[in-house]
């Protein structure tokens, strides 16, 4: 017995706001059925004692401490601003009072 019908595919496509051509419905029904069969196969795997993970190979970010360093281009960048107010860029107000 099929787990998914053509009507199910049409309904999911509608919920996802996808315009599926009618001639593709049978193809997508078969493909989704195979995906669900594979998920069933995965659910049968014994994962007792296997810790959850987010990736197969552990990735470690190499970071460094932030260091404040003086910049030599600060004044040049401020000069490029369309509007400036002292040492700051002046921007249009976007929030109400």
For residue 11, is it within any domain?
yes
For residue 33, is it within any domain?
yes
For residue 36, is it within any domain?
yes
| CB-based contact 81:89 (threshold 8 Å) | yes
For residue 89, is it within any domain?
no
For residue 75, is it within any domain?
no
pLDDT in tens, the chain (97 residues): 578 899 999 999 999 999 999 999 999 999 999 999 999 999 999 999 988 888 888 888 889 899 998 888 988 999 899 999 988 999 888 887 6
Report the predicted TM-score, pTM, of the whole model to 2 decimal places: 0.49
For residue 93, is it within any domain?
no
Domain that includes residue 22, residue range? 6-43
What is the number of structural domains in the chain? 1
In the chain, % helix, strand, coil (3-state, to 5) comes to 40, 5, 55
For residue 97, is it within any domain?
no
For residue 52, is it within any domain?
no
């Amino acid at each position: 017995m099929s787990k998914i019908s053509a009507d199910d595919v049409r309904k999911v496509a509608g919920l996802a706001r996808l315009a599926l051509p009618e001639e593709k419905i049978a193809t997508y029904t078969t493909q989704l059925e195979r995906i669900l069969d594979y998920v069933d196969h995965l659910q049968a795997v014994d994962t007792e004692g296997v810790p959850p993970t987010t990736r197969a190979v552990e990735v470690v970010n190499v970071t460094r401490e932030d260091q404040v360093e003086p910049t030599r281009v600060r004044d040049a960048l401020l000069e490029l601003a369309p509007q400036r107010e002292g040492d700051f860029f002046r921007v249009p107000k976007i929030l109400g009072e």
